Structure 1
Amino acid sequence: MNQYEIIATAAMGLEAIVAKEVKNLGYDCKVDNGKVTYLGDEKAIARSNMWLRTADRIRVKVGEFKAFTFDELFEKTKALPWEQFIPEDAEFPVTGKSVKSKLFSVPDCQAIVKKAIVERLKQKYRRVSWFEEKGPLYKIEVSLLKDVATLTIDSSGAGLHKRGYRIGQGEAPLKETLAAALVQLTNWHPDRPFVDPFCGSGTIPIEAALIGQNIAPGFNREFVSETWHWIPEKVWDEVRTEAEDLANYDQPLDISGHDIDHRMIEMAKKNSFEAGLGDLINWKQMQAKDFRTNKEYGVIVGNPPYGERLGEKNAVEQLYRDLGKAYESLETWSIYMLTSHEDFEKLYGKPATKKRKLFNGFIKTDFYQYWGKRPPRKE
């Protein structure tokens, strides 16, 4: 099989988590702002799409070079081996972005890259006319950063956060990739209780259940690269068989999702069934401050309201105070809360053991971590 440079794109703050996942798949990688790069064959591309829970997309790099003029961009793009990736009947739209580069006009850069690829393919396929583009999709991106152009092809299609189970969502849904990251940033193990007191449409508990039973996040969806001629169907069959073999459907789980809105609970149940989890998760309508339990060494992960909307701030601040009181007796439990409210610790009544900066979409947030007592070691 051939070797490719693969780029797993990541939301700001999640690069290290994506890198850990890539290493767990068996690939050495390099971490950069917004991306993790590594070498791999066709199977690595398929496995990355199937297994990476926290990456946004899997891109295949065709080339990278410095470009200060449009002529340079055209000639250096044309010099790349596009025929190795793109067949004669392919649909190949070009998207772009430019940051701190002399070539700042993105539409111009897109048009020039498209023209250069067409000229290259016309030569290689001995075509005189323009291509009809009625075949498989190869979505190309030209990304310019500090005058360095990186040309990639997107192998995912829909973003990797689209697992295929979400049939309903609330007003401000958490991306599945971020939800998976929040779970992975905790000290939770599948043999311990897990609670989300603000579950909304159920994303965090569902992602926890998928992690707990080692179910591949891409198992219930398709990827655009499944239509590519240079990734054999046999590769995808092997990757799906591997995902099926590694899933631990017998792993018992104690996962609960609570929400004050009964409509969200109904939606969460439907999403859970769509994810193939059935009755594995306990859903309950209740206020976060009413949570009580006799269980020990559990984990609470919540994405509460932030109080950013007009008129909500006072109610949200009271909610944070109530949470501090409600969770005060949970000495063995670890509590994790994601919010943009800068006074969360003061309102909660306790400084966090640790906090980590993350972005929920474009909102800058902190993930406040309160670590409970360690469970006794098993004999």
Structure 2
Amino acid sequence: MTKYNIIATSAMGLEAIVAKEVRDLGYECQVENGRISFTGDESAIVRSNLWLRTADRIKIKIGEFKATTFDELFEKTKALPWEQYLPVNAEFPVIGKSVKSKLFSVSDCQGIVKKAIVERMRKQYKQVTWFEENGPLYRIEVALHKDIALITLDASGSGLHKRGYRAGQGEAPLKETLAAALVLLTNWTADRPFVDPFCGSGTIPIEAALIGQNIAPGFNRDYVSEKWHWIPERVWDQARDEAESLANYDQELDIIGSDIDHRMVKIASDNAFEAGFGDMIQFKQMQVKDFTTTKEYGVIVGNPPYGERLGDKPSVEKMYQDMGQAFAPLETWSIYMLTSHEQFEQFYGRTATKKRKLFNGFIKTDYYQFWGKRPPKKKD
């Protein structure tokens, strides 16, 4: 089988988590800012699309080279083996970006790359004078950074955060990939209670359920590369069969999501139903200050309001205080909160065991981690 250079793109701060997921799939990888690179065959492209919970997209690297002139960009793009990837009827739009590079006009770079590919294809398909572009989609990206051009092919289509279960959402929904990362950064295992007291449209509890039952997050969606002639249909079938056999649908889950807004609770329930967890995740309307439990060794993960708008700040700070008081008796529980509020610990009333910088979209946040007592070791 052919070996490809594959890139899993990632949000800032999540690279190490994506890299761990790639290694868990059995591929050695290199980590850079925002991208995790590895090599693999067609099944690696398919499996990483299906399984990576925290990556944004899967791309195939076609070429990487220095380009300081349009001439250089044209010739080096034309030298790449496009005929190995694109059939004669391929639809191949070119998108681009440029950072700290002499070739700073993105639209010009896109045009040059497109022209170079057409030239190369004309040589290959001699009888063709005009490419109809009415076949499968091959979205090409030219990304210039410090005069190095990276040319890739997008194998995902819509971003990997689009799992296909979100029937509705609130004002500021958390991306599914970040929600999965928040769960993976905890010490939670599927045999322990899990609570999200700010569940919104239910993304964190649903991602926890997918992790708890080892369900491939991309199992129920389509990918642009399913229509590519050089990835046989049987490769997709095998990968989906593998995902089906690895899922642990019998794993019981104790997952609760609550929110102050009854409309969000309804949306969260609908989304959980759409994801196949209709009866497995409990959703209820509740304020965080009313949370009590007699269970032990659970995990709480939350993305509470940040108080970004000035008028919201006092009520958010009061809510952090109430939360600290409600959670104080939970000695065996581990608590994880994501917020951009810099005085969170002060209002919550405790110093975090550990903090991790993460980005929620463009908002710089900290993931505050308060570790509870370790559960007793299970007897064999």
**TM-score normalised to the size of structure 1?**
0.99
Residue deviations 1:355-377 (CA, integer Å, cap 9, x gap): 00000000000000000000111
- Contact persistence 1:118–1:130 (CA under 8 A): no
Q: Does 1:348 align with 2:352?
A: no
Q: Which amino acid aligns with 2:249?
A: Y
User: How many angstroms apart in 1 are the aligned matches of 2:263 and 2:243?
Assistant: 33
User: How many angstroms apart in 2 are the aligned matches of 1:306 and 1:188?
Assistant: 24
Q: Does 1:103 align with 2:103?
A: yes
Q: Which amino acid aligns with 2:299?
A: V
Residue deviations 1:207-238 (CA, integer Å, cap 9, x gap): 00000000000011010000000000000000
Residue deviations 1:63-82 (CA, integer Å, cap 9, x gap): 11000100000000000000
Q: Which amino acid aligns with 2:223?
A: F
> Superposition pairs for residues 350-365 of structure 1, below 5 Å?
350-365=350-365
Q: Which amino acid aligns with 2:205?
A: P
Provide the residue aligned with 1:235 in structure 2: 235
Q: Which amino acid aligns with 2:300?
A: I
Provide the residue aligned with 1:192 in structure 2: 192
User: How many angstroms apart in 2 are the aligned matches of 1:149 and 1:141?
Assistant: 10
Provide the residue aligned with 2:201 in structure 1: 201
Q: Which amino acid aligns with 2:76?
A: K
CA displacement at 1:128 relative to structure 2: 4.8
User: How many angstroms apart in 2 are the aligned matches of 1:127 and 1:328?
Assistant: 75
Provide the residue aligned with 1:219 in structure 2: 219
CA displacement at 1:310 relative to structure 2: 3.2
CA displacement at 1:130 relative to structure 2: 2.4
**TM-score normalised to the size of structure 2?**
0.99
User: How many angstroms apart in 1 are the aligned matches of 2:309 and 2:87?
Assistant: 50
- Contact persistence 1:54–1:178 (CA under 8 A): yes
Provide the residue aligned with 2:369 in structure 1: 369
Q: Which amino acid aligns with 1:47?
A: R
Provide the residue aligned with 1:326 in structure 2: 326
Provide the residue aligned with 1:266 in structure 2: 266
CA displacement at 1:309 relative to structure 2: 1.4
Provide the residue aligned with 2:134 in structure 1: 134
Residue deviations 1:70-115 (CA, integer Å, cap 9, x gap): 0000000000000000000000000001111111111000000000
CA displacement at 1:259 relative to structure 2: 0.3
Aligned length: 379
Residue deviations 1:165-210 (CA, integer Å, cap 9, x gap): 0010000000000000000000000000000000000000000000
Provide the residue aligned with 2:179 in structure 1: 179
Q: Does 1:295 align with 2:295?
A: yes
Moved more, 293-302 or 307-316: 307-316
Provide the residue aligned with 2:12 in structure 1: 12
SS in 1 for 2:129: coil
SS in 2 for 1:264: helix
SS in 2 for 1:91: coil
CA displacement at 1:276 relative to structure 2: 1.1
CA displacement at 1:55 relative to structure 2: 0.1
User: How many angstroms apart in 2 are the aligned matches of 1:12 and 1:154?
Assistant: 19
Consecutive aligned runs of 4 or more in structure 1 exceeding 6 Å deviation = none
SS in 2 for 1:374: coil
Q: Which runs of 5+ in 1 are unaligned?
A: none
Residue deviations 1:111-156 (CA, integer Å, cap 9, x gap): 0000000000011011452211000000000010111000000000
